[in-house]
Amino acid sequence: MQPHFRPELHLLGDETEMDSGIPITRLRKLGPVDEQAGGYRIFSQDETPQYLHTNEQLRTVQKGEVIVALIPKRVVPFEESQQPTIISTNYVIIKPSERLDAKFLAWWFNESEEARRQIDVGAQGSALTRLSMGIIEDLKITLPSIKRQRLIGEIYERQTALTELSARRSELFRESSNALLEKAYKEN
C-alpha cells in the first residue's frame, strides 16, 4: 500500500522564476514599433499585433512559460509564435519549476479559490487594480502531485478551448440572425 500523498503549501516565488516586461517607452528607444511583421512580436491580448524591429537581444517568452496580465489579474494564454515574443510592463513571465505544471498554474491562478482569495486580499485597501511581481511571488500555492497537476491542467485547457468555441458559435449565430433580421426589415 502506497503512503497517502499530502499536498504541500509553497510560496509561488519559490516554485517559479519571474521576469517583468519592458516599458513601451524603452522598447520604442530600441527601434521602430509598428504593425509590420518582423523582429520581436510584442505580446498583447486583444490588440493588433505590434512588432519591435531591433538587433538588441531581448528576453522572450519560451515554451512552458505562462504570462500573467497584471491588470485583469489573470494568466493569459501564450500561443507559440514563429517570431520571438516579448512582453511589456503590463505582463509578467512565469517559468514554473519542474514541480509545478504550467497548465495547472493557469487553472490555479485564474480559477482556484485559494488564489482568488489571496489576490483579492492583496488588492484590498488599495486603489490599485494591478498586481505586482511581489504580490505574485508571495502567493501561497498548495501543490498536489505532478500527476494530478497535469490532469487538472489538461482538463482546464480543454474546458477553456470548449468555452471559447461555444462563445464563438454564439457570436456567429447572433451575427447571422441579425443579418437575416436586417434583410427582413429592409424587404418591407
CATH number at residue 125: 3.90.220.20
DSSP, res 56: S
In whole angstroms, how far apart are CA 57 and each of 61, 94, 166, 171? 13, 19, 40, 41
**pTM, full prediction:** 0.83
What is the pLDDT, as a whole number, of residue 124?
A: 54
Give domain status of residue 70, yes or no. Answer: yes
Question: Which stretches does DSSP call E strand in 53-126?
Answer: 66-69, 74-76, 85-86, 91-96
What is the pLDDT, as a whole number, of residue 127?
A: 55
Partnered with residue 141 across adjacent β-strands are 10
Give domain status of residue 59, yes or no. Answer: yes
Output the nine-digit C-alpha cell for 12: 509561488
Report the distance separating Cα 179 and Cα 140, nearest Å.
Answer: 50
What is the pLDDT, as a whole number, of residue 87?
A: 94
What is the pLDDT, as a whole number, of residue 19?
A: 95
Give domain status of residue 2, yes or no. Answer: no
CB 29, CB 56: distance < 8 Å: no
Report the distance separating Cα 108 and Cα 92, nearest Å.
Answer: 16
What is the pLDDT, as a whole number, of residue 122?
A: 66
87 in helix, strand or coil?
A: coil
Instruction: Spell out, as residue ranges, where the chain has pLDDT lower than 70.
Output: 1-6, 47, 122-128
Taking residue 180's Cβ as centre, other Cβ atoms within 10 Å add up to: 10
- Boundaries of domain holding 63: 8-187
Output the nine-digit C-alpha cell for 16: 517559479
Report the distance separating Cα 42 and Cα 86, nearest Å.
Answer: 5
Cα–Cα–Cα angle for 76, 78, 82, rounded to 5 degrees:
160
What is the pLDDT, as a whole number, of residue 36?
A: 85
What is the pLDDT, as a whole number, of residue 11?
A: 96
Give domain status of residue 3, yes or no. Answer: no
Give domain status of residue 98, yes or no. Answer: yes
How many domains are there within the chain?
1
Q: Which of 56, 161, 152 is nearest to 102 (CA)?
A: 152
Report the distance separating Cα 139 and Cα 115, nearest Å.
Answer: 7
